[in-house]
Amino acid sequence: MLNVCKPFDELTDGLKEGITVIYGPQASGKSTFCIMAARSCAIEGKKIAYITKEKISFERVRQICGEDFDRVLKNLRLSFPKTIDGLERAVKNSRKISNLGLLIIDPVNEHYWIEEERRDCFIRILSSTNMMCKNLHIPAILTADTYEKKGKFEPFGFRYLKEIAKLTVELRIAGKRREIVIKGKENDLKREFIICNGGLE
C-alpha cells in the first residue's frame, strides 16, 4: 500500500495492489497524483515505471518531492512511446525492472482514440498490466483522457477501463472547487481538494 495524498488516502486507505484508473478534464490533477504516488514508492526504496506521452516537468517534480527529489529520480524509469504498439512494448519492458513497486501510464488511452481501429491492442495492454499487478503484487495507476458527454467528462475506452479497474477515481473541477470522487457501485465517496506546490491537499 502507498500513501499518496490526504484526500485520496482518507477515502481509500492508500493505493493498493491492482489497477487504479484516474480520469478528469485537463489540469484536474491527474499527473500531480502520479508524481505523488511515485514519491511514496521511491521513499520505500522501490522502482517506478513511468510511461507517458510527453516529457515530465522536473521543476514540478522537484516542487512536489522536495527533499526526496534525488531519491525519486534515482528510482524513476521513464519511457515515451509514440504509438499504441510502442505503449504495449513499454508495458512489457517494465516487467524487467528489478524491485518494481509501481507502474504508471499517463495517459493510457491517448492512442486508443487516435488509433481506435487498434482496440485489440488496447485491450491487451490493459490485460498485461492487470497480470503484472497480480504477479508482482504491485499497484498501477492508469490516467485517462476524457471527452465531454452531456455536461460530464467520460474517458475514451471507459467500457474496457471499468472492467479491468480495481478502483475508479474521478477528479472534478467545478468553478474554484475541486473534488476527488471514488466511484462506487451504489454510492460515490467524495472529498474536496486543492492543488498547491506540494501536490494535492
pLDDT confidence bin for 113, thresholds 50/70/90: low
CB of 61 closer than 8 Å to CB of 78 = no
Terminal Cα distance for the chain, rounded? 19
pLDDT at 175 over 90: no
pLDDT at 190: 94
pLDDT at 92: 96
Collapsed DSSP state (helix, strand, coil) of residue 25: coil
pLDDT at 42: 97
Q: Which CATH number fits domain 6-200: 2.40.37.10, 2.60.40.10, 3.40.630.40, 3.40.50.300?
A: 3.40.50.300
pTM: 0.94
CB of 30 closer than 8 Å to CB of 106 = yes
123 Cβ contact partners less than 8 Å away, ≥ 6 residues apart: 160
Determine how many CB atoms are found less than 10 A away from the CB of residue 197. Answer: 10
- Rounded Cα distance, 152 and 81, in Å: 29
pLDDT at 161: 94
Give the type of residue at 192.
E
150 Cβ contact partners less than 8 Å away, ≥ 6 residues apart: none
pLDDT at 106 over 70: yes
